[in-house]
């Protein structure tokens, strides 16, 4: 099937951050198969990645029109609303997606994020626990559960969740970023600075800065949480740094723009 070749080509181009070429590939797929909700969904995801949100929404809605049971398209619409901070609309559309695919932990995780932003954090935590019953090592779910526990000021539980996540994703800078925040709340300032230092070492070019800002926006109650940490630089030992270098590599977590994971 030629359409799948164009879709596969578009996915490869997207992974290489060649978004314009990926968009052209998905458009070609739609020309060949104008009734393909899958091609419209992929095109919508691509527009969403470059913040062409109105175009993304149009693609997702077209996909839903072609196939009302396309949970991927419902999820895409919800992700656009999440980016626009229209959290009630996001929750509605995530609910539609999960009603179609009830055992997908990533969809459940997205719904939990929306519920948290609708001030139903306890419900969100229940959803995340349900998702982790389906996949106990789902990094996305564990990351958001840890962030939610941090928001709820349940710091020891958040720390336990992050330590487990560190075993799953030992080279993910976002994990160490949250670990730093939790230890600062627990007044473990040495560990707080150490983990922040490791987070920066793992992401020296700041590629995850937007994701860290998203994590702060979703789960931090105080914007000045990490101010003044430079004063603790002398407390990091050489053993700390050598331990960090011994960590093995796993794939990154993408806590906000994770619609691709369920495609």
Question: In the chain, where are the structural domains located?
Answer: 1-86
Digit-coded pLDDT (tens) for 201-255: 998 877 777 777 777 777 866 443 333 333 333 333 333 333 333 333 333 344 4
Smallest CA-to-CA distance from 182 within 170, 166, 171, 168 is with 166
CATH topology of domain 1-86: 1.25.40
Give me the long-range contacts of 209-216 (CB less than 8 A, separation at least 24): 211/174, 211/254, 211/255, 211/256, 212/174, 212/177, 214/255, 214/256, 215/147, 215/174, 215/177, 215/178, 215/255
Name the one residue in this structure whose structure tokens are 């419900």.
123
Ordered per-residue pLDDT tens for the chain, 263 residues: 688 899 999 999 999 999 999 999 999 999 999 999 999 999 999 999 999 999 999 999 999 999 999 999 999 999 999 999 999 999 999 999 999 999 999 999 999 999 999 999 999 999 999 999 999 999 999 999 999 999 999 999 999 999 999 999 999 999 999 999 999 999 999 999 999 999 999 988 777 777 777 777 778 664 433 333 333 333 333 333 333 333 333 333 444 444 444 44
The pTM of this model reads: 0.81
């Amino acid at each position: 099937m030629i359409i799948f070749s164009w879709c596969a080509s578009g996915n490869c181009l997207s992974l290489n951050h060649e978004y314009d070429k990926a968009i052209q590939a998905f458009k070609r797929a739609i020309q060949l198969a104008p009734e393909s909700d899958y091609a419209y969904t992929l095109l919508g995801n691509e527009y969403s990645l470059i913040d062409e949100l109105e175009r993304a929404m149009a693609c997702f809605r077209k996909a839903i029109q072609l196939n009302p049971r396309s949970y991927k398209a419902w999820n895409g619409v919800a992700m656009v609303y999440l980016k626009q901070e229209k959290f009630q609309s996001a929750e509605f559309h995530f609910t539609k997606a999960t009603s179609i695919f009830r055992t997908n932990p990533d969809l459940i995780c997205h719904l939990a994020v929306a519920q948290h932003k609708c001030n139903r954090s306890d419900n969100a935590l229940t959803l995340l626990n349900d998702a982790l019953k389906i996949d106990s090592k789902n990094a996305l779910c564990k990351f958001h559960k840890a962030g939610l526990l941090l928001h709820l000021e349940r710091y020891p539980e958040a720390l336990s969740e992050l330590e487990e996540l560190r075993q799953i994703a030992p080279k993910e800078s976002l994990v160490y970023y949250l670990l730093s925040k939790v230890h600062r709340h627990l007044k473990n300032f040495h560990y707080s600075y150490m983990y922040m230092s490791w987070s920066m070492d793992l992401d020296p070019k700041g590629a995850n800065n937007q994701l860290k800002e998203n994590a702060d926006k979703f789960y931090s109650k105080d914007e000045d949480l990490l101010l003044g940490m430079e004063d603790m630089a002398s407390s990091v030992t050489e053993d700390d740094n050598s331990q960090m270098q011994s960590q093995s590599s796993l794939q990154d977590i993408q806590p906000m723009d994770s619609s691709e994971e369920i495609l």
